[in-house]
Amino acid sequence: MLVRSILVNWNDFLRQMRFLSLYAFSFFYVLLSSFTAKGQNVQWASKVLEVSSELSSKQNAALQALGAPSVFPQGGNSPSAWEPGSKTKIQFIKIGFKKPMKPQQIVVAENYKPGAVSKIVLIDKTGKEHVVKRLKPKPIKEEKRILCLPLQHIDFETTSMKLYLDIKNFEEMPQIDAIGMSEEKEAFQPKINLANIDMEGSDAVNLGDSVNTIFKEIAPIISPDNRTLYFTRDNDPQNIGGEKQDIW
């Protein structure tokens, strides 16, 4: 029988959180793997050749723009995306790709403050730069977007690209999650292939007055031994761990 108990053993709580973190990591790894598989028609940048600036050498570094999107689909400010480290109005990143390609479209995952992309340059095998797209950079209402830029008459193969940002009209620094190119004309649409999980019994069930109350109760966690239920309760006068929420 489930019995309500106030959490008083902090070490026990930390053990439960470590278990939950490992479970959550495994779950989101599955989601990410499915996401990248769905985007296999896009070749994502594999190396950084040059960058105007970066916020640090790890978080928000230029290398965070490599590979398939890692911040999407949720988007938002993230250390896992490239963020320029200078307020100079023109910033750029030059990236390389493993496979030579005549791209039909460029894909840019703008996870935070989109609208700053001003120019796309492709470099052919002789090192000549070709400006293939110019845009009018400006802040937009959306907090994130997948920018798909169709190209025409690309008659040379490329393994490198320069992406320019014009940030002079942006109060907050834009971020770039990923950069790719595709030989397909159809606009890239990121999708998540959700794991086939049996959701039977997942509907909320009131466990009676010994557990549930009139207050909002969320985020239930069952301990690994299946003997303890933890959950968060909002605005209960009996809460002792915070003004608005407590773990029961």
Is the pLDDT at 48 greater than 60? The verdict is: yes
* Closest to 73 (Cα-Cα) out of 38, 103, 119: 38
CA pair distance 10, 36, nearest whole angstrom: 38
Backbone angles phi, psi at 244, to 5 degrees: -110, -30
pLDDT of residue 199: 56
Confidence at 4, pLDDT banded by 50, 70, 90? very low
Radius of gyration, CA atoms only, the chain: 24
Same domain for 168 and 224? no
Query: Are residues 101 and 219 located together in one domain of the fold?
Result: no
Same domain, 113 and 221: no
Judge if 68 and 122 occupy the same domain. yes
**pLDDT higher than threshold 90 for residue 88:** no
160-188 per-residue burial string, b: 16 or more CB within 10 A, e: under 16: bbbbbbbbeebeebbbbbbbbbbeeeeeb
Please determine, for residue 38, whether its predicted confidence score (pLDDT) is greater than 50: no
In this structure, is residue 198 part of a structural domain? no
Domain count, the chain: 2
Range of the domain at 91: 41-182
- We report the CATH number of the domain holding residue 114 as 2.60.120.260
pLDDT given at position 18: 47
Residues 155-188 pLDDT 10s: 999 999 999 999 999 999 999 999 999 999 888 8
Residue 236 has pLDDT above 50, yes or no: yes
**Cα–Cα distance measured from residue 109 to residue 117, given in angstroms and rounded to the nearest whole number:** 11
pTM: 0.65
The model's pLDDT over 110-167, given as tens digits with 9 standing for 90+, comes to: 999 999 999 999 999 999 999 999 999 999 999 999 999 999 999 999 999 999 999 9
What's the gap between Cα 41 and its chain centre?
19
More confident residue, 199 or 203: 203
Q: Which range (71-80, 149-158, 221-230) has the least confidence?
A: 221-230
- Greatest mean pLDDT among 17-31, 36-50, 115-129, 200-214: 115-129
67: tokens are 């590979």
Report pLDDT for 28. 44
123 & 211 share domain: no
Same domain membership, residue 177 and residue 55: yes
Confidence of residue 26 (pLDDT cuts 50, 70, 90): very low
Residue 188, in any domain of the structure: no
